[in-house]
Amino acid sequence: MDKKLKQIPRFIIPSLVYLLLMIAALVCADTGISDKNIIESNWWFKKGKSLSQSSNYQDAVAFFTKAIELNPKNAEAYNGRGITYFYQQQYDRAIEDYTKAIALDPRLAKTYYNRGTAFSHKQQYDRAIEDYSKAIKLDPNFALAYLNRGNAHLMKQQYDRAIEDYTKAIELKPNDVELLYNLRLAFIARQQLGRTNMAFNKGIEINQNTQVQRRVWEPH
């Protein structure tokens, strides 16, 4: 037997075990959610996510809602339903669900990012920038967060900040033509046409067959 255990009086060990069991019981009682409900909630969430990705938004909302009913602490289900509301252009509902998800799990960078996209579509750019910044703080390699924060800065005519964010996004995803396109727009706004053409031509060299499109303000 371990010498340290020998030094502990025998009557204390059962007391410690009892204390740990009591703590575990209190934790379970606090959540009030059974293992069965958690498992079922995760199933409904996964099904809702699949439906949402297939653009079957009405059914997806129903599945996410069922997941939340089974486990009100399922942050991913709130985030998933928020994304579905977003694609239905129900931005206030999306923001409400994202906010609940953040309250349940403030470590999810993607949820701050998603709420930022909803604020961007409501043209609430200051709040969007705040959320994108929180997402970046949690995940410094979140290229899309830099991209969309740059978009928000661009809409506020903060061109230097937009260029800085686009440049950082390109550092993280150097072969993304769409990022280079957005950087070109910022340079145009700044009337730095020489650097604009250089950035754009570099993007075309990456893949001449790629159709350049702006990718902005989509949930992740």
Six token digits for residue 97: 């669900």
Closest CA to 162 of 118, 121, 192, 138: 192
**pLDDT higher than 80, residue 210:** no
Give the chain's mean pLDDT: 82
| CA 47 to the chain's CA centroid | 19
Give the separation between CA 157 and CA 18, rounded to whole angstroms.
63
Give the separation between CA 161 and CA 139, rounded to whole angstroms. 19
For 28-37, how does the pLDDT look when each residue is reduced to its tens digit (9 = 90+)?
Answer: 445 578 899 9
- Kindly state the tokens that stand for 106: 């403030």
DSSP 136-184: HHH-TT-HHHHHHHHHHHHHTT-HHHHHHHHHHHHHHSTT-HHHHHHHH
Mean pLDDT of 8-31: 49
pLDDT band at 13 (very low <50, low <70, confident <90, very high): very low
- What domains appear along the chain, each with residue ranges and CATH number? 33-106 (1.25.40.10), 128-220 (1.25.40.10)
pLDDT 10s digits, 76-105: 999 999 999 999 999 999 999 999 999 999
User: Count of CB atoms within 10 A of residue 159's CB?
Assistant: 19
pTM as predicted: 0.75
Alpha helix (H) residue ranges in the chain:
3-7, 12-31, 35-53, 57-70, 75-87, 91-104, 109-121, 125-138, 143-155, 159-172, 177-190, 193-206
pLDDT-based confidence at residue 198 (cuts at 50, 70, 90): low
